[in-house]
Amino acid sequence: MTRDDADWWRQAVVYQVYPRSFADANADGIGDLRGIRSRVPYLRRLGVDAVWLSPFYPSALADGGYDVDDYRDVDPRLGTLDDFDDLVAELHASGIRIIVDIVPNHTSNRHAWFVEALASPRGSAARNRYIFRDGLGEGRTLPPADWTSAFGGPAWEPVGDGQWYLHYFATEQPDLNWDNREVRDDFLTTLRFWSDRGVDGFRIDVAHGLAKRLDDELPDQAALDALPRDGGHPLWDRDEVHEIYAAWRAVFDSYSPPRTAVAEAWVDTPRRPRYASREGLGQAFNFDLLEAPFDAGAFRRIVDANLALASESGSSTTWVLSNHDVVRHATRYGLPEPVDPREKHGAAWLLSGGVHPVLDADGGLRRARAATLFMLGLPGSAYLYQGEELGLHEVADIPPIERQDPAYFRNPGVDVGRDGCRVPIPWRSDGTSFGFGSDGSHLPQPAWFAELSVEAQQDAPDSTLALYRRALELRRDLQGSERLAWSPTEHDDVVRFRRDGGWEVVINFGAASVPLPAGEVLVASGPLPDGLLPAETAAWLRVTSAP
Ligand code: NOJ
Ligand code: CA
């Protein structure tokens, strides 16, 4: 693949770095850009095609950096723009592309625009960049509507003069008004700013939320929830959002190769292709596997449905099992009750801080390795989240005082939040913060990180790290067209497909061993004794005969 290959993203493996938790170069307990740079050789050895950096912009971290103070700068705790340029150069020199996160639905409350809005009167141009409304009742002391924010608690906040602003997420994340021309133009400037610095693509946060239409009379929460999300909903997935992305596309295409984008759009599945189309952002996350149980029928249906959607949009499909917002998949697959990966409600084990001995840690990891190997065999692009290549479990026992996620603070006793997948990853088996840095870690790391560190796994042939490395190496060599052909199986619990070039992926979701299909084993997620494919195991095979 050459650097100007415009289609580089179609089947890329993209590795998500959560910058504050990856590597700390200056011993302040917070991961930084120079830390990431120092680990480029690791990423190269792992075999990823691109790195996606979650926000590294100046931020008070009310929402882990998704509360952006300035879209065209680096958080001084994480480095400087020069450090960013050095990181881009280092990644590119290693043949790795870079994607950055754009957060257009809301700024932080410390952004210059919001500071100006608060200092400006009702009806001012400064307030028009956000969504301000008069409160209801005498003295306008009641919110304009009873809406609940995504993190719990009210979605409208008073500013002291009878007006209230909308924040669909945390109070510190005021929603922007995308009907405002200045807002639109400023994001085009931001996209050019990072493209000019050599960024290859963008991940678009809450891509389905930008266009809003709030009438004078606002529906209450129940009425809002009942409205169909068919393009006309006041807040979500409005058809006009695509006009915004058409303008972004013009910016992307003014570069060579065109800059790419992937939408984080939690929309009804049939509405996803529009975000992924060539006229729009070009690709959209598909979270279906991430939300699915470890089940043959579910996995197979999801693959079929998403390959069909990809051919509708002309994009390639995307696969995700873990990210910074969900319980790590090794843990999801090890808990007895299904965990809603997004809401985390009902996950008694997590809420108990891991004191209930219900986690089947080994089984969860076994299933995670199998599911990952299956996913990496699929056509399309795969998004990996830092630490999954080490088989990390969710960290459940973070003391309340150390927690950071607003989802935890705004939902006491209901949602434990997302800190458990954001704990700095272990590079070494001992030493301060397991090699993350040399002076501690901003979230506490558990003792069990020692045996899962990069150091502990890198020379162990059966380690999860070795499995990822081997699969990514093979994937590069084997990658063909974006098609697959299902192969028949004699067991409902077994799913098997063939890719161009004569290789096959097989996974056994069941509890009993099954015969291994004929072929040379290229990689397997676990041992394959006696020519069998054991329970909850996947393998890739080189095959020569017809299926
Ligand atoms: C989605 C991001 O992935 C999540 O981390 C963030 O809290 C929300 N968007 C709000 O920006
Ligand atoms: Ca640091």
Report pLDDT digits (tens) over 338-370.
666 655 544 667 777 777 778 899 999 999 999
356-409 pLDDT, tens digit each:
778 899 999 999 999 999 999 999 999 999 999 999 999 999 999 999 999 888
In a domain, 476, yes or no: no
Ligand nearest to the CA of 208: 1
Looking at the domain assignment, is residue 137 inside a domain?
yes
Say whether both 373 and 427 belong to one domain.
Answer: yes
Distance CA 366, CA 330 (A): 8
**Residue 65: CATH number of its domain:** 3.20.20.80
Strand 156-158 with 514-515, pairing: unpaired
Average pLDDT along the chain: 94
Q: Does the annotation mark 291 as catalytic? A: no
Q: What is the residue type of 481? A: S
Across 14-23, 236-245, 265-274, 453-462, least confident range: 265-274
Kindly give, in sequence order, each residue whose CB lies less than 8 Å from that of residue 120, ignoring residues fewer than 6 positions away.
Answer: 126, 127
Specify the pLDDT at position 341. Answer: 61
Q: Do 152 and 219 lie in a common domain?
A: no
Tell me if 2 is assigned to some domain. Answer: no
How many percent of the chain have pLDDT more than 90? 89
Domain, as residue range, for 307: 8-104+182-466
Residue after which a domain boundary falls, among 166, 190, 211? 166
> Locate tokens 């209901």: which residue?
414
Q: Give residues with Cβ within 8 angstroms of 16, minimum separation 6.
A: 51, 52, 54, 323, 324, 383, 384, 385, 386
Q: What is the CATH number of the domain that holds 128?
A: 3.90.400.10
Q: For atom 3 of ligand 1, which residue has the closest CA?
A: 325
CA distance 504 to 520: 10
Question: Among the atoms of ligand 1, which is closest to the Cα of residue 418?
Answer: 5
- Atom of ligand 1 at shortest range from CA of 103: 11
Q: From ligand 2's centre to the CA of 254, what distance in Å?
A: 35
What pLDDT does 464 receive?
98
* Residue 186 within any structural domain of the chain: yes
Q: What is the pLDDT of residue 361?
A: 94
Q: Is the CB of 320 under 6 A from ligand 1?
A: no
Q: What is the CA(399)–ligand 2 centre distance, in A?
A: 22
Residues 152 and 300 in one domain: no
Final residue in a domain of this structure, among 142, 166, 190: 166
One domain, residues 499 and 410: no
pLDDT at 344: 52
Decide if 3 is inside a domain: no
pLDDT tens digits, 486-526: 999 999 999 999 999 999 999 999 999 999 999 999 999 99
The span from the CA of 167 to the CA of 113, in Å, is: 15
* CA–CA separation, 452 and 21 (whole Å): 16
Q: What is the pLDDT of residue 452?
A: 98
Half-sphere CA count of 64, side-chain side, radius 13 A: 25
Helix (H, G, I), strand (E, B) or coil at 179: coil
Q: Do 78 and 151 belong together in one domain?
A: no
The pLDDT score that the predictor gives to residue 345 is 41
Confirm if 289 and 299 have CB atoms less than 8 A apart: yes
Would 176 be classed as within a structural domain?
A: no
- Shared domain for 428 and 388, answered yes or no, is yes
Please tell me the pTM assigned to this model: 0.97
Number of structural domains found in the chain: 3
**Do both 282 and 393 map to the same domain?**
yes
Please indicate, yes or no, if residue 15 is contained in any of the structural domains.
Answer: yes
User: Helix axis angle, 464-478 relative to 361-377, nearest 10°?
Assistant: 10
Residue from 63, 69, 101, 264 carrying the catalytic annotation = 264
What is the three-class DSSP state of 115?
A: helix
Tell me which of 68 and 412 has the higher pLDDT: 68
**pLDDT surpasses 60 at 184:** yes
Let me know if 26 is exposed, middle or buried by CB neighbors in 10 A (0-12, 13-18, 19+). middle
307-312 own/partner pairs: CB under 8 Å, 24+ apart: 307/379, 307/380, 307/482, 307/483, 307/484, 309/269, 309/270, 309/272, 309/273, 309/276, 310/276, 310/380, 310/482, 312/273
At position 197, the amino acid (one-letter code) is R
Is 458 found in the same domain as 497? Answer: no
Together in a domain, 89 and 128 = no
User: How far apart are alpha carbons 326 and 403 in whole angstroms?
Assistant: 15
Structural domain contains residue 22 = yes
Res 1 pLDDT > 70: no
pLDDT digits (tens, 9 = 90+) for 17-75: 999 999 999 999 999 999 999 999 999 999 999 999 999 999 999 999 999 999 999 99
Q: Residues 96, 207: one domain?
A: yes
Predicted local confidence at residue 286, as pLDDT:
94
What residues does the ion ligand 2 have nearby, CB within 5 Å? 24, 26, 28, 30, 32
C-beta of residue 483 within 8 angstroms of C-beta of residue 503: no
299, 495 in Cβ contact below 8 A? yes
Residues 347 and 305 in one domain: yes
Q: Is 253 exposed, middle or buried (0-12, 13-18, 19+ CB in 10 A)?
A: middle
- Does residue 186 contact residue 260 with C-beta atoms inside 8 Å? no
531 lies in the same domain as 456? no
Give the pLDDT confidence of 264-320 residue by residue, as tens digits: 999 988 899 999 999 999 999 999 999 999 999 999 999 999 999 999 999 999 999
- Per-residue model confidence (pLDDT) at position 411: 82
Q: pLDDT digits over 140-165, tens only? A: 999 999 999 998 899 999 999 999 99
Residue where the block lists tokens 């100046």: 58
**CA distances to 30, 65, 135, 235, 350 from 109, in Å:** 22, 12, 19, 20, 31
CATH of the domain at 536: 2.60.40.1180
66 lines ligand 1 (CB under 6 A): yes
